Amino acid sequence: MSRKDGQSRSVVAGSKRISAVSITQRWVGAANVVGDLLRKGSLRGGLAERAAADIVWVLNDPGLYHQLVGRQGWAPETFAEWLAETMQRLLLADQLPNSKLTG
């Protein structure tokens, strides 16, 4: 193995570790958001804490923003409104806001 190959593998391994840390940090942040909702009594009934954290985690994936804004041409403001509405509908008790995205 050449020195260059070894350096490339080291960079890839380092990137994977950083990515794994980032994913873990996002999930911890999502769990903290859900914990706040639980303490306030705002979490939708019947929704498990772990499932709620998973929902927040996946909706906060930067790839989702990239796909909708970068690839599909959504305005950043439209994405932000959609994300807020989606989280409200999925996570909060008695929250059914009128959608700005329909019609």
Q: Quick check: 103 pLDDT over 50?
A: no
Phi-psi region of 96 (alpha: psi -120 to 50; beta: other; left: phi over 0): beta
pLDDT in tens, 23-71: 889 999 999 999 999 999 999 999 999 999 999 999 999 999 999 999 9
Domain ranges of the chain: 3-91
- Tell me which H or E stretch contains 78: helix 76-91
d(CA 94, CA 103): 23
Q: Quick check: 102 pLDDT over 50?
A: no
Pick the residue with more confidence: 21 or 1?
21
Pick the residue with more confidence: 80 or 15?
80
Q: What's the pLDDT score for residue 94? A: 76
